[in-house]
Amino acid sequence: MGCNQSSAKRAVLLLVTALLLTYNARLTARDRGEQIDDLIHSELTSGEGPQTMPFAISSTSFQNGGQIPRLFTCDGADVSPQLSWADAPAGTKSFALIADDPDAPVGTWTHWVMFDIPTQITSLPQGVPKADDVPGGGHQGRNDFRKVGYGGPCPPPGKPHRYFFKLYAMDQMLGLKPGSSKQDLEQAMQGHVLGNIELMGRYQR
């Protein structure tokens, strides 16, 4: 009886030892895997070798998805918001800008059209003059208010409308005349867009 108990105890001890060894081996392998993942991540983010940053747009006037202040609407001074962009695709020769409201009751309403913006320009200040030519380069088209330049949000009372500021990187200057429409611009852009980004704001009356 005593001999059988001793054998049983030895068997249990051997089993426990084997389980511990297996667990430790798996833990060590997992740790090695995590170390390798950390090393790869470090190499990818160390700045060594070519990296591609995303084409990006932002504004100091409002946050993406946020409320557009009254200043930039028909209820205020109706001046254009500040816009900045960075990391345009390689080969970009000019930029084009369209701002519109897809929630307008009559269909998408165009608020701003701009094109042939030189690549050295990477921002637009608040309050771009409502004229054919943009200071520093570029031209403005005609919006759906039938005016050249920016026309701010002016929705009917009700639910908030979304306003998209869409910037396009072009592989050439488009050569359109000042006062051209959104339709003219979209037709000229076909086959020449290298990348596009957008910023969206909301306004409600």
Residues with Cβ < 8 Å from 59, sequence gap 6 or more?
Answer: 81, 82, 83, 84, 165, 199, 201
Residue 103, both tokens: 């929630």
Give the mean pLDDT of the chain: 85
In terms of domains, do 39 and 79 share one? Answer: no
Residue 14: pLDDT band (50, 70, 90) is low
In terms of domains, do 14 and 62 share one? Answer: no
Q: What single-letter amino acid sits at 40?
A: I
CA atoms within 13 A on the CB side of 98: 19
Max CA pair span of the chain: 105
Laid out side by side, the sheet with 109-118 consists of: 139-140, 109-118, 94-101, 161-170, 193-203
CATH number of domain containing 153? 3.90.280.10
Domain carrying residue 15: 1-51
In terms of domains, do 42 and 139 share one? Answer: no
Query: Rounded CA gap, 133 and 98, in Å?
Result: 16
In terms of domains, do 81 and 139 share one? Answer: yes
In terms of domains, do 127 and 60 share one? Answer: yes
In this predicted structure, the answer to whether residue 18 has a pLDDT above a threshold of 70 is: no
pLDDT higher at 24 or 137: 137
In this predicted structure, the answer to whether residue 3 has a pLDDT above a threshold of 70 is: no
In terms of domains, do 27 and 114 share one? Answer: no
In terms of domains, do 45 and 74 share one? Answer: no
How many structural domains are present in the chain? 2
Q: What single-letter amino acid sits at 5?
A: Q
In this predicted structure, the answer to whether residue 163 has a pLDDT above a threshold of 60 is: yes
- In whole angstroms, what separates CA 108 from the centre of its chain? 21
